[in-house]
Amino acid sequence: MNLSHHLIARLRRTLAGLQYPDVPVTLELPPSPDMGDRSCTVALALAKPLKRAPRQIAQEILQALPPDDPWIDRVEIAGPGYLNFFWSREALRQVLRGLRESGPDYGSSDLGAGERRLFEFVSANPTGPLNIVSARAAAVGDSLVRVQRKIGFDAQSEFYVNDAGRQVDLLGESVRARLREALGRPLEIPEGGYHGIYVRDLAEQARQEFPGDPLTAPARDLGRWTAQRIVAGQRETLEAYGVAYHRWFFESEIHQSGAHWQTLERLKQEGHIYEKDGALYFRSSAFGDDDDRVVVTSDGRPTYFLPDIAYHLDKAGRGYAKAVDLWGPDHHGHVGRMQAAMRALGLPVEFLEVVIVQQVNLLRGGQPVKMSKRTGEMITMDELIEEVGSDAARQIFLSRRWSSPLDFDIEMAKDRSEKSPIFYVQYAHARISSIFRKAGDGEELQESDLEALHAPEEWDLLRSLSLFPDAVETAGLQLAPHRINTYLSDLATSFHRFYHECRVLSDDPALTRARLALCRAVQVVLKEGLRLMGMSAPDQM
């Protein structure tokens, strides 16, 4: 049940019948509903190849359209040559029937044709608790995966744990420094170590539970043990946020299997590696990067880059046609080298798509909250969820494009007054639930009841429902989950207006049944949309 697809198919057939050159047929939303429900600009696009006036072409298309379409009430030509389509009441009733049949599957499609896609996000270092930046990435990444699956991609989520390398040693040494501090010695955190107060708690845990003597064990062993504790905590945080990964991938797996050395061999064989000053360089500049990059240092250690290449190669090896990585703005400089590596290894350019999720500026009542990674002074993701709640946080993170920097005001996020737009959509859902509580077990809808729908607010609501599949499709294809949020706000507006103007439970049984069916349809779409955003659909507020 997708009115847009129906119309596009109609138009394509008509254009083919007219033997026009092949141009993409897409639909727009006219600026105002009284100008139409969907609009098509093919006549404008055809003006040049046909060397004719666009309005004249529009006229020709209009006349060639099958006149007997029960879903189209009328077509108008507007402006320079827009074709504006108006749905018939029958079409809008059909939306309601279709929704009753498909339920939450409404808006699902097989557009992705089962293509396997892997979404990697957050992937924070296992050296401290997750912060607010991770909260944004988690909200965006998780919603992306949900939407991708909705439109027929076989999408999965993954967290890459950097549990190897120097930072793990530093973590071990930082824990040890805290252990010594607890014994009354001065606190000496190593250069580049971790200053956060959370390290003290980890040291206490290590004192009690580390298998062996944490004061004398190798820093790497202590670090690895601690990292595992931190990862477990990160996993709990994300689960409290409603994010469950399909897989947690540990960098140490690569070090154990030696996959990174195999990757290096492969690059060497292809002639993409050279030595300079004792270090091994990957000739990434030959594949579009600004510069060549070190993959093995002069003292023989792999840089983080080499296992990272191996990891992404592993993604391809696992049968994913596309890997989408969500990175922070501080890593955007790495996009070029990673894509260069993918190309050097023979993967198509589109294989790796990097989404840079921009920074979050944390505010409290309009004032910036100072955060410092060095001193470990920061608001953790746990504190964020505790203070503002998972739903409110996700709603804010999904209300903007990921490419925009975002101001997150904690006070505003907690606000539950009428000024706050955060609960607008959920409130609509709760209101509908309330109606159904009052209605009790209603009678079954009769086909003839639909004739009772007449108010403009009812048609407007049905029009809004008809746009859900389009919103899902756009959000999925453009990797733009905030589109779902924009759509749901519009739907909620239509509903609140309807609620205000049209009493659902009345002494007219047919009208009551019809309006209850309409409410149910709205409720299903709100709930499904909220699910795609990883938010709950409360029955009471």
Contact indicator for 538, 429 with CB cutoff of 8 Å = yes
Written as one letter, the residue type at 199 is: V
N- to C-terminal Cα separation, the chain: 32
Report 496-515 residues binding RNA (CB under 7 A). 496-497, 499-505
Our CB check for RNA shows the closer of 435 and 452 to be: 435
Structure tokens of 435?
């109606």
Our CB check for RNA shows the closer of 73 and 154 to be: 73
Q: How far apart are CA 137 and CA 234, in angstroms?
A: 14
Interface with RNA includes 486 (CB under 7 A)?
yes
Can you tell me which of 239, 290, 386, 443 binds RNA, judged by CB under 7 A?
A: 290
Can you tell me which of 247, 268, 276, 318 binds RNA, judged by CB under 7 A?
A: 276
Work out how close the CB of 105 gets to RNA at its nearest, in angstroms, rounded to a whole number: 24
Q: Around 94, how many Cα atoms within 13 Å sit in the side-chain half-sphere?
A: 13
Report 74-113 residues binding RNA (CB under 7 A). 78-80, 82, 84
Interface with RNA includes 400 (CB under 7 A)?
yes
Work out how close the CB of 212 gets to RNA at its nearest, in angstroms, rounded to a whole number: 25
Identify which of 535, 516, 514 has the alpha carbon closest to the alpha carbon of residue 526.
Answer: 535
Binding track, positions 230-269, relative to RNA; x by CB under 7 A:
---------------------x------------------
373 SS3 class = coil
The stretch among 105-113, 263-271, 289-297, 444-452 that binds RNA (CB under 7 A) is 289-297
Our CB check for RNA shows the closer of 132 and 179 to be: 132
The stretch among 134-142, 262-270, 376-384, 401-409 that binds RNA (CB under 7 A) is 401-409
Report 426-445 residues binding RNA (CB under 7 A). 427, 430-431, 433-435, 437-438
Structure tokens of 67?
């006149």
Q: How far apart are CA 141 and CA 528, in angstroms?
A: 17
The stretch among 93-101, 232-240, 472-480, 529-537 that binds RNA (CB under 7 A) is 472-480
Residue carrying the six token digits 């499709």: 473
φ, ψ for residue 364, nearest 5 deg: -135, 110
Contact indicator for 97, 459 with CB cutoff of 8 Å = no
Q: Read off the DSSP letter of residue 349.
A: G
Q: How far apart are CA 157 and CA 466, in angstroms?
A: 30
Q: Around 148, how many Cα atoms within 13 Å sit in the side-chain half-sphere?
A: 22
379 vs 2, 143, 202, 384, 541, CA distance in Å? Answer: 44, 23, 18, 7, 28
Q: How far apart are CA 219 and CA 216, in angstroms?
A: 8
Report 361-390 residues binding RNA (CB under 7 A). none
Residue 85's DSSP bridge partners are 38, 75
Q: How far apart are CA 239 and CA 195, in angstroms?
A: 26
Interface with RNA includes 455 (CB under 7 A)?
no
Our CB check for RNA shows the closer of 448 and 506 to be: 506
Can you tell me which of 92, 313, 326, 406 binds RNA, judged by CB under 7 A?
A: 406
Composition of the chain by helix, strand, coil, percent to 5? 55, 15, 35
Can you tell me which of 16, 21, 28, 346 binds RNA, judged by CB under 7 A?
A: 28
Our CB check for RNA shows the closer of 248 and 304 to be: 304
Our CB check for RNA shows the closer of 220 and 331 to be: 331
Work out how close the CB of 206 gets to RNA at its nearest, in angstroms, rounded to a whole number: 21
Interface with RNA includes 541 (CB under 7 A)?
yes
Work out how close the CB of 204 gets to RNA at its nearest, in angstroms, rounded to a whole number: 25
Work out how close the CB of 200 gets to RNA at its nearest, in angstroms, rounded to a whole number: 22
Interface with RNA includes 8 (CB under 7 A)?
no
Binding track, positions 54-73, relative to RNA; x by CB under 7 A:
x-------------------
27 SS3 class = strand
Can you tell me which of 136, 176, 224, 482 binds RNA, judged by CB under 7 A?
A: 482
Contact indicator for 219, 169 with CB cutoff of 8 Å = yes
Report 179-238 residues binding RNA (CB under 7 A). none
Work out how close the CB of 253 gets to RNA at its nearest, in angstroms, rounded to a whole number: 14
Residues in contact with RNA, counted by CB under 7 A, come to a total of: 92
Residue 517's DSSP bridge partners are none
Our CB check for RNA shows the closer of 36 and 214 to be: 36
Structure tokens of 54?
């666009």
Interface with RNA includes 25 (CB under 7 A)?
no
Q: How far apart are CA 291 and CA 268, in angstroms?
A: 18
The stretch among 139-147, 203-211, 229-237, 474-482 that binds RNA (CB under 7 A) is 474-482
